[in-house]
Every structure is written in structure tokens, then in C-alpha cells.
Chains A and B, each alone.
Chain A
Amino acid sequence: MRENREPNPMRLAAALFALPVFVLQAQDSAGVEFFETKIRPVLAAKCYACHSAKAKSPVGGLALDEKSATQRVIGNGKLLRAMKYADPNLQMPPGGKLPDAVLADFAKWIELGAPDPRTDAPAVSAKPAGPDFAKGRKWWAFQSLREAAASKSAWAKRKHDGFVFDALQRAGLPPSPEADRRTLIRRVALNVTGIAPTFAETEAFVNDGAPDAYEKLLEGLLASERYGERWGRYWLDVARYGEDNPTSEATNPGYQFAWRYRDWVIETLNRDLPYDRFVKMQLAADQLPGFQRADLRALGYVGAAPVYHKDHRLSRDVIETLASDDWDERVDAVSRGVLGLTVACARCHDHKFDPISTKDYYAMAGVFASVMPARLPLKAPPDAETERKQAYAQTRSFYLNYLVRLMKGEPETVLDPEKKSAGFKEELARIKREYSAEVTGEVAHAVIDAGLWIDGSVADLTQLDYRVGQPRDLPVFKSGNPANPGDIVPRRFLTVLERGEPLPFTRGSGRLELAEKLFSETAAPLAARVMVNRVWGWHFGKPLVGTPSDFGTQGEAPTHPELLDDLAARFVANGWSLKWLHREILLSAAYRQASKPRADGREKDPTNKWLWRMNPRRLDFEAWRDSLLADSGALDETRGGPSIEIDSPTAVRRSVYAKVSRGRLNPLLKLYDFPDPNQHAPNRELTTTPLQQLFVMNSPVAEAQADRLAQRAVASSSDERQRVRFLYRAALARDPNGREVDLGLSYLERAGWSEYVQALLGSSEFTFWP
């Protein structure tokens, strides 16, 4: 944010300094001497460090050791304005304002016509401003995908095991042996379905002598509807799913039906819809071939995205800043989420490290400035035109009602609230007459194509001006400041992911074109690498690229580049099927390794970069709670529908159905590292805190499940040893050993069954994911 702008005397001054005046006066010797004694030393001492043509890339493309560049910033008034610290966004030199005497010298020098005996450094001034896209396109993550030959070994079970094996060989480490069957079924069931296997399932697998026992197990898990609930939640982290807004005020109320998007994600993953189509639908389901009304739910990705409150009494600049924050959020969610690129870094200046220009940024932001959130009916309206009109009428009525309320209690001074209010009411009545059909029945939070302009024409009341069917190309907001607009940029895709100059989008907002571009021949390799890396990370607990949402030059390099490329190439060749990808990863020898520590591994590769074992983990919140409910027998596996309050002891549905609030995230979710749903989350931080243990030790939720399981144990047998065995089977899917039975029985001499069960459910083994 910036301060309100003040009248700028330099604008006027700049106009007076038309260039010819300069040239005439420039070279008188007294002036040159003034330059040499008063000006050049300051430029050299205070400016050249950043603004020199000798630098590799002068900051802001400005070289103050060049005459022409210096003249340019004198002419447009920027030099003095920056030095005077008049503009909070442009204060130079950044270390502190120079003494008034120096500023007076510069003013005098400019008055003299800025005499300057220097010349330009020709080589550098010829250098084009902005990122070098040709060079940028050579970055590894943008290269086309190629399958690679992998070495064969007795250990390998799937192709990519060859790459893992070779890397281990180079590190001088052997792989670990295959995990025992108990560990394996717990691991893979949690990965695929998010619920620990029962004792019976575990025993069946342990005793299955068939050579393809593991394959059969995996197929069964992938076919389970629990799969979509597990993997839907992973995607919802990426998609920053939430059911309201950061503040949920008058202009940004909550999304009552956001859960329909969540259900669409779950159902769609269960159907194994190709990943590229899965993403495209979330941007443009309604514009894709084969569209059905129920697909509108997919648009919740944009239609229920976070928006900030816009108090319409604020100035146009403030409102436009808030709107541009909304667009920025979409750019960030799509670019980091799908492409692993930090495009939002280019909002204020060209990306400092990656080949992304501010023009690229605003070209993409324009797509989101051209859509309007709307509740669309899942039952088809008469025709598309009616639908658009209804959507507009809905949004417009919402704002008019808000404005009418806003006018109440306003002082009757400049505003003339009565008159304005009357106008709004009139329009409301007209809309009601013309579009009497209000949207009824089931609705989804979707979008329609309508550009958003910020209308500041009426004093004291800034308005949102949505224009249906009219997209908005944004100007580059210099330094991210909407009050400082530069050239208009047509909506289009990122230059670096196109072969040449990108062509403008032409269809509506361009969201379908953007969706297609994310999977174009030049972008698909990146999108595939990013998703393969995420899936790998969710299976192994650690991705191949350690920064899953940053595949740019500031991100980490892949530990196994050939593996990533080869797997991504085959993922695309296999129709972007996520279930194919799961099979490939979960059937591999690398995944099936034991996770126990080994002295040689700890010494040579303490972070397990080379995968000499499987990474042991703790359960994430959802898998932990769902397994707890499943083991106690309380789990209600009803699928879909409105959300539940997750911390209620009576809530017994799966955790993916938890209500996710952006403004008031449930404290239980916060306690267990649930990512902030206000923005895209690349991964979760898994912490182990005392407050989490208080929940395990003392919460009604933990007590309720302990009570339930304890009752079942007591009912199962009158023999205490049998009950202990029953409980080990229910909670940990195994039989206790003699020592464990004794431990339990001696504890039970002075405690009740509920307390004992709570200890079992609270044990590390229960929450461990080996």
C-alpha cells in the first residue's frame, strides 16, 4: 500500500524540461564544472553501486553513468522525486535521504539544463530490458520430457527403481530389504486410503501366499472410494480450499456451498479423470466439450477463492488494490500450484530470478480480472443468455443491497445518501422486474466471464463495475501500484512457456485458453513434473524436488532428475492417469523398503536423500483422526455433503469433511498443522508439540473414542487377557506380546479400561507411519 498521492510539482517541472532546451544549454563549461564537482561524485558514491552500465544488470534497467538514461529520469521527474523521498514507493538512495544541500545542488544542476559531459556505454545500452526468455527456456524444468534407459538389477521391481539403485550405488549404500508385510499393508493403506488397516485385513495379507498378494492388495485399495477422500484432501491443500473468506464481511460473505467443489474433487479422483482434464475443468469446466451441469462444481477453484472485503467508501485506488490482491491470489494459486512457478513475484517488478516479466504477470492476472464469481444453478436454466443475465442480476443486486445499507446512517453532507440510495433502490426494483427468476435449487460457486472495472466516477462512493462478456486487459501496475498504470497487456500465457511471442487470448475471459496453455506442448512437461513430484512426495514423505511449488532457479534441484523426467514422461504417455502413477510408485522396490534406521545410511546419507530406506513418518491429522474413529468403531463413512465441525466429540465422519474456514480455522486443525487456506500451500509442516499431546491426553474427542472402544473390549470377553488382546488388535492391528499384556494388566489394577484404551490410542505406535 502507499500513501495518498500528493500534488507533484515535478510533473510540471518535467514538462518544462523539453529536451532541446537541454542540448542548447548543456555544455557550457561552468555547468560541466558544476557537474564534476557537485553531481558526479554523488552519483558515483550513492548511485552507481546499483545503477551502473558496468553492472551485469543495472537495477530497474537504469544506468546513471549513462547520459541518456540520466536525462530520461530527469525529464520524467523521477530522479528528484526519488531523491526527495516524495513517493513512498520510490525513495533513492535507499539507505537514507541525502542532505538538503545535495538535493539543492541537483535541483540547481537540473535548472542549469543538467549539463553532462559523459557519453553512453554503447554495449550495455543496446541490451534489451526485461528477462532473457531465450536463455530462460533452457532451464531444466522447461525441457521436453524424455524417457530414459534405466539400469536393470535383481532388486528393481519397476523401471524407476533402476534410477534409485544407481544413485544408491554411487553413494555407496545398498537399499534396505523389503518391509515386513504388517508394515507394508499399514503403509500402503494409509497412503492410498488414509485409514489404517484392520487386524483382519492385516492378517489376510500377512497370510496370503499368492505371488501377487501385494498387487491384489493395492488394486483393492485403489478401487475403494476412500481413495478419493484421501487424495482429494491432498489436492485441496494445493487448491487452498476454504468455505468462507479471510474476513467474511459485507462484501465477501462465506461460500455456503463450497463443499460441492470438495465433493467434485473427491468423486473425480475416484473416477481417475486424467489429471490434465481435472485441472482444466477447475478453470473452465463450462467451456470444455462434454460439459454437464454438475461439472460447474469444479469451478469452485476460482468461484470460491479467497476475496478481500471492499468497503466502497474507500478511494478507487484502494479498492483497485484490493481487487488486484484477489487477482494476485489466483495467479499465485495457479502458477505455483500447477506449474511450480512463482509468477506472483513479478507483480511489482520483473521476476528477480526466473524468466517472468511483469507483463507476463499482468497478462495472466487479466484472465482473473475478467471473471465474476457467481452462484450457478446445477439445474439447467432456459439458455446461456438467461444464465448470464441471472448471474449478473444476482451479483448486481447483492452490491446494490450492500450500497443501500451503506447509505444508511451516512451524514447528509457531500454524499447525498438519500438521492444515491433512491437510485440504487430503483435499479434493484428494475432488476427484480426484469430477472424475476431468482436462482433457486442447488447451486455451485462458479464463475462467468465478466471483466471487472473499478468505477471511481462518483465522489465518495467507489463501485465495482462488472461487464458481462467484456474481458479486461490489465495495464502493468508499476511497482504493483494500481494508481501507477503502465502499458496495457493483452491477456495471454507466460512468454517463457511459449515457443515465440505469445498470442493474446481471444475467447471470453481466456480462462479456457489459459487452462489449455497449462498443458500445451511447451508447458505440459513442467505441469507433469510438478504433479509427479507432488505425488511422489505424498507417498514417500519427501518429494524429489524439495520445493514442490518452486521449480524455478531458486527452487531445489531434483535428487533424481532422470527418474523425475522418465516418470513424468510415462505419466503423460499413460494419459495423465493418477492411478497409473500410484501403481508405478507403490509397486516399486524403493517404496516397499523397510524404514528402519541403518548405521551406514545414517552416516553417509542422514537425510535419506538417496532413499536407502523408506522415510518413516507420523500420521497427518486426517489419517490419524480417521484411523482413530475407524478403530473405535465410530466412523461414519457417509460420503459428501455439507461440512462438519471437526472438534465436536459427536463428529464421526471423515476429516476431509471438516468445515474449513479461512477466517476462523478450527483450532483443532490449526493445532495439527493444517495449512492456511488463504493461500496455496506447497506442503505441510509436521510439528510435534505439547499442545497436540494435551489434545491426546485430555480432549473429549480422545475420551469419547476411548470409551467406545473400551465398551467393545469389555463386551468382547470376561477375561482380562482376552480384552487386552482384543484392544491390541483393534487399535494396533496386532497381537500383544507377553510383556505388553503384563504391562497392561498391572496398569489395570489401578485404572479403568477407558484410561487404558486412551493410552493405547495415544501411543506413538498408533500415530506412526513406518
Chain B
Amino acid sequence: MEPLSNKRKVVDNKPLNFLERAYLPAILQGLAITMKHFFRKPVTISYPEEKREFSENFRGMHSLKRDEDGRERCTACGLCALSCPAEAITMIAAERQPGEENLYREEKYAAVYEINMLRCIFCGLCEEACPKEAIYLDGDIVPSDYLRKDFIYGKDKLVEPPLNQ
């Protein structure tokens, strides 16, 4: 059969010749190779001082969006929680009171909205499920912490800052 790739290599069990058995030429060869690497530029990225550029469709920490008037878009419909394969999202809905029209876009809003970042697998299905374009995974990497409870992010960490600030 014709080889499908050019990686095919014929293996043989020829006994080593004298130079190969003497080790030293091979060792010198190896030393030359490692010396080449000695002067090569390190590939290390010194995180957190330096950060690798994310790709355009990188999925990081979630943010809950506001509309053009600075009102929260989320209506607590629960589709994101339903679509979430890791069951990381929970929310409690509340009714908008008169006078709160500048805070919430629809009559219903999420009073509590929590994402467990330890459960989240950053698949982006919540983003796809959202009918109000309220949630996007456009943030940074979720920072590390010491306690499990500190990984449950509430609205204080998720909602975008208000427009006028």
C-alpha cells in the first residue's frame, strides 16, 4: 500500500557500528543540539505580568449586559440555566416596581443571579440560549481564590458597570 503520510519510517535492528557504540560522537551531537536551545529565545510568557492574546472567540468570565439606556437586559427567563450542561447557573426572579424603569428593561428581572465558576465549563450555551442578548462570555480568565464559596459569582461581579460611570 502507498503510505498515506510521509511519516512512515522503516525500522531495522542492525547492530550498532563502532562509532555508534562509542557513545561519544552521539553525545557530542546531543550537546550541540542542547547548546542551540541554550541561546534560543525563551517561549515562557510571564503570567500575570505578560498575558497571551486571546483569540476573538475566546470564552472567559461571563458578564450580564446593559442596554443602550443602561438598564439590565436580563429578564430572568431561566433559559440560560436550562441550557447549562453543568448546572452552574441559578437565579431568583422578581417583579419590577414602579420607579425602577431606569434599572431594568422588562417588567421582570433577576434579583439574584449566581454562576458557580467551579461548575462552569465555559461552553457558551447560555450565551446562545439567551433571547435578550443579556449574557456574554467576553471577560478575562476567572481569577483563582482560596475558598469554594468565593467562586459563586453574584450580580455584583457579573453585571456590567453602569454607563454613566
Q: Do A and B bind each other?
A: no
Give chain A's interface residues, CB within 8 Å of chain B: none
Give chain B's interface residues, CB within 8 Å of chain A: none
